[in-house]
Amino acid sequence: MNPLNLLKLEWSKYSPNGTFRAIAILYACSFGLVFSLARQIGHKMTFTSFGTTHYPLAGLFTYPHNWELLACIGSWMNVFLLGFLGVFMITMEFSNRTLRQSVIFGMTRLEVAVSKLVWALALALAATGFYMLLGFAGQLLDGGGLEFPPVGSLTCFFLQALGYLFLGTLLGLLIRQTALATMGYLAYVLILESACRWILYFSVAKTRLLLFLPHQVLAALTPWPVPESVSQLVPANAFLKALTPTEAALATLVYLGLFAGIFCLSILKSDL
């Protein structure tokens, strides 16, 4: 089946759903609101030294640095809202038996799996488009011209959005119950991975490889844009040294392939 037809099928399935609409609206509103508050606070934060007023965070609110700040703010929406959306959509399919119905009505299991992956890809593109829209709006409010975001920032934001959608969808597929899958997802991104990382760090090996766990990799795609003067105060430490965007992007591609492979295999082999 044509990917566009699969996309249309998924759109017709989810667009009337009230929860799906609520999450989409919440994503847009919270992303825009937090970015607006950050701009206001950042522009007004000052301190006076020897009679001179300084704006310590001003550099973060000028383009192209503003794109990095916007991506970092959006990462919180990606973790909680897009990740939950991935959980909700696949568990809703099991609750309504629509996966089984799709197979009964003539779709192959592979087409069912591909349709979910194509839909996640479309949602990640939509989130990235909104990220760009907010950035352009911020530039206009600052009285400047429209400057296209750096390709690196744009790519990292898209990969992160897709990564959390895939992660949520995979956990939802494995657990199948919305409440339990949601708790499992939140427990993983908030507690379990960090706890395992530090346990391994202190009891097994103090290696930088521990930074390549899934949530850690996805979070490293949109780091907080710390001013250079502050970053120089952090002592050099191989473990504390964050992943570079290139390292995080390459690791994310590996995880995306792994998540997609496990997802497709589960759809092909499990009872729908």
Residue 46 confidence (pLDDT) = 57
The CA distance from 191 to 197, in Å, is 10
pLDDT in 10s for each residue of the chain, 272 residues: 688 888 999 999 999 999 999 999 999 999 999 988 877 776 556 555 555 555 555 556 666 678 888 999 999 999 999 999 999 999 999 988 888 888 888 889 999 999 999 999 999 999 999 999 999 988 887 766 678 888 999 999 999 999 999 999 999 999 999 999 999 999 999 999 989 888 887 777 777 788 899 999 999 999 887 654 444 444 444 445 778 889 999 999 999 999 999 999 999 988 87
Widest distance between CA atoms in the chain: 76
Kindly calculate the radius of gyration of the chain based on its CA atoms and give it in whole angstroms.
21
Residue 234 confidence (pLDDT) = 47
Residue 66 confidence (pLDDT) = 81
Residue 210 confidence (pLDDT) = 84
- CA torsion through residues 209, 84, 98, 115, sign: negative
Q: How many CB atoms lie within 10 A of CB 213?
A: 18
Residue 154 confidence (pLDDT) = 94
C-alpha of 130 from chain center: 13
Which residues, 6 or more positions from 272, have their beta carbon under 8 angstroms from its beta carbon?
Answer: 94, 99, 100, 103, 109, 112
Which residues, 6 or more positions from 162, have their beta carbon under 8 angstroms from its beta carbon?
Answer: 120, 121, 124, 256
Which residues, 6 or more positions from 118, have their beta carbon under 8 angstroms from its beta carbon?
Answer: 3, 6, 7, 10
How does DSSP classify residue 148? P
Burial of residue 80 (CB within 10 Å: 0-12, 13-18, 19+) is buried
Calculate the alpha carbon distances from 132 to 75, 104, 270 in Å: 14, 41, 39
